[in-house]
């Protein structure tokens, strides 16, 4: 089984490639657990999946001269699209791509201390289903 050192993630927001401005990415997916326990389950609880949810967290290097701030300022409060692939743009079974409509409800463009790299984080709530593609 191949191991992957995470150095070549491909990340776009609203069609703009920000791979060189993002230091960390995390896709989270969850589903509500709905208990369906009834008599006849031999003392075990039973459950089904309910509503699904997800988010994308990105840790950024701010850049006001590029399209980072311009893209995120216009994305704030609106539905956009995030695309993520773990190892570059060649999508395949060993490098799947996740696409999701998302909402950016909070954006803090400036936060830092003297001498620090200007960084910030965004968490995008899923506004629909994640799709996983391999072609």
**Residue at 118 is within a domain:** yes
Q: Is residue 21 part of a domain?
A: yes
Q: Is 46 a member of any domain?
A: no
Q: pLDDT under 50 in the chain at which residues?
A: none
Q: How far apart are CA 107 and CA 13, in angstroms?
A: 14
pLDDT digits over 70-101, tens only? 999 999 999 999 999 999 999 999 999 999 99
Report the distance separating Cα 20 and Cα 47, nearest Å.
Answer: 42
Domain count, the chain: 1
- Token pair for 63: 């850049």
Query: Is 92 within a domain?
Result: yes
Q: What is the pLDDT of residue 3?
A: 87
Mean pLDDT, the chain, rounded, equals 94
81 found inside a domain: yes
Q: Does 68 fall in a domain?
A: yes
| Residue 24 belongs to some domain of the structure | yes
Cα(56)–Cα(15) distance, integer angstroms: 16
Residue 109 lies in a domain: yes
The domain of 118 spans 10-32+52-133
């Amino acid at each position: 089984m191949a191991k992957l050192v995470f150095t070549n993630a491909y990340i776009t927001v609203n069609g703009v490639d920000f791979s060189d401005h993002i230091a960390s990415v995390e896709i989270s997916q969850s589903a509500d657990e709905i208990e369906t326990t009834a008599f006849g389950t031999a003392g075990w609880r039973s459950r089904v999946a309910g509503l699904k949810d997800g988010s994308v967290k990105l840790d950024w290097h701010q850049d006001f001269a590029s399209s980072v701030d311009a893209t995120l300022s216009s994305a704030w409060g609106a539905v956009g699209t995030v695309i993520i692939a773990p190892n570059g743009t060649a999508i395949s079974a060993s490098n799947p791509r996740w696409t999701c409509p998302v909402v950016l409800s909070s954006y803090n463009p400036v936060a830092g201390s003297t001498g620090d790299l200007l960084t910030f984080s965004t968490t995008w709530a899923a506004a629909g289903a994640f799709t996983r593609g391999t072609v």
